[in-house]
A and B are shown apart, each in its own frame.
Chain A
Amino acid sequence: MRKTFGTSGNTGAMGWFFHRLTSIYLAVVLLIHFAVMHFIGDGTITYAKIADRLASPGWKVLDILFLYTGLYHGLYGLWNLLEDYIHNSFWRAFIYFLIAFGGFALVILGTITIVNFKKIGG
């Protein structure tokens, strides 16, 4: 009998482990994000302020990691919920690759955007 897509192979332990690990990073970075955006300084959000941050290498590293961990955490969670309710092997494979491809495309797009970002107008 053919196996249903995604029901054999790994135990799911590592997926769960990284889900927990990324949640720690996300919690810390979200706190930094809220503090910097809304509570430090006068609380106004302008292009100049954000552009200054995004142009600095430290923030670029922080934001790229934010992008990767956020995408992994969110998409892993989404697949985990969906796979409970999708039992047809074709649709499981289709949605899994849709999520994986979508995630990969966002990783590439986000990385290019963050790495190449330069402040316009000094």
Chain B
Amino acid sequence: MKKRFEIFRYNPETDKKPYFKSYEVEVYEGMTLLDALNYIRWEIDGTLTYRRSCRSAICGSCAMKINGRTYLACKTQVIKDIKSDHIKVEPLPGYEIIKDLVVDMDNFFDKLKRTKPYHITHKAPPEKERLQSPEDFKFINEAADCILCGACVSACPSSWAGKDYLGPAALLKAYKFCADTRDEGADERLAIVNDKNGVWRCHYTANCMDACPKDIKITDYIARLRNMLVQNKL
């Protein structure tokens, strides 16, 4: 069985504007879109550029737009998950394009760093490790699943409109650390997200939840961050 892959191509050094190039690939049961891209790169056109690493939906490198929706290429099977014989592959929207399917994630990671995505502790460490009960872990279990693929930010209209908006991924990470019982830096982090371009910029469009390949309810966690701020007297 053959499927046609229409892939976004753009090399800023040689192309005046982006275009789509078509490739026909023999597909098989269990083949992922990443397998198909690898086949195209290795067997048909070595100039096709895309990011990939773990092949297990853990590293977040291969998020891209597939037939209009955001998926991880390594988690999407070309027969089971995509019924159409025509598969359109584009880079994540909302980012600068470096080449073909590779987008510039610098701004994404800069915003993430602004929310201090690491444990802040003031007390001396215990003899072995900082323990957490299973009950307390439940608060951060889902938020900790984020693989930083950037799909949520690419789906968020507030992020498209405001380049300074922290965006759903950074806010989710801020929630994860603020809600972690082992962390003592919630006040510092809440002061950072309590900003026009922070938690208050979200309009609850909930596109981020729709785009998240890990099905994290990101908008709910942004609401919880707001709740924390309200509890701390706005």
* Interface residue ranges, A against B (CB under 8 Å): 7-8, 10-17, 80-81, 84-85
Contacts and interface: CB of A to CB of B under 8 A. Distances in A.
Contacts of B230: 17
B194 A11 contact: yes
Contacts of B39: none
B229 interface: yes
A12 B234 contact: no
A13 B158 contact: no
Interface of B: 157-158, 161-162, 164, 194-198, 200-201, 203, 226, 229-230, 234
A81 B161 CA distance: 10
B203 A17 contact: no
A93 to B, nearest CB: 16
Contacts of A13: 194, 200, 229, 234
Given A84-B162, A85-B161, A11 B203 contact: no
Main secondary structure of the interface of A (DSSP, over half): helix
Contacts of B196: 7-8, 10-12
Nearest to A7: B196
A24 to B, nearest CB: 15
B194 A84 contact: no
B201 A12 contact: yes
13 contacts: A8-B196, A10-B196, A11-B194, A12-B196, A12-B201, A16-B200, A17-B234, A80-B203, A84-B157, A84-B158, A84-B162, A84-B203, A85-B161
B164 to A, nearest CB: 8
A81 B194 contact: no
B200 A11 contact: yes
A13 B195 CA distance: 8
Contacts of A15: 200
